Amino acid sequence: MSRAYKLTVEAIGISQESLNKVMKDQFGWEGEADSYQGTSYFNGDGHLYAGKSEEDAHNQIYKVLKVINPNASIKTRWTYMDDLPFESYGDDID
């Protein structure tokens, strides 16, 4: 079973190009990296498989990015897309 996520990776000390390459080529996430005031951001869509947790995936990403720069600061934010809260309005339709 796979679970869909929106993922943001925030990194200080990792270039936009390196972050983009790692997230797309190594981890298969669809998205783009950009940078602002010395911080690189990757915003993408992807899936976690086989019971892998967000923390497990974070740790994998973290390790790879730390190889590029051991002094980098790295944070990931995970939004689970398969069960978002919602509100419905209008007539009952079955």
The model's pTM is 0.87
The answer to whether residue 50 is domain-embedded is yes
The answer to whether residue 93 is domain-embedded is no
The answer to whether residue 43 is domain-embedded is yes
Q: Which domain holds residue 46?
A: 2-80
The predicted structure's pLDDT at residue 2 = 87
The predicted structure's pLDDT at residue 92 = 85
The answer to whether residue 72 is domain-embedded is yes
If the chain, 94 residues long, is cut into consecutive pieces of 10 residues, what is the mean pLDDT of each piece?
Answer: 93 98 97 97 95 95 98 97 88 83
How many folded domains does the chain comprise?
Answer: 1
Q: Which long-range contacts (CB under 8 A, 24 or more apart) does 36-42 make?
A: 38/12, 39/10, 39/11, 39/12, 40/10, 40/11, 40/12, 40/14, 40/15, 40/16, 41/8, 41/9, 41/10, 41/11, 42/7, 42/8, 42/9, 42/11
The predicted structure's pLDDT at residue 35 = 97
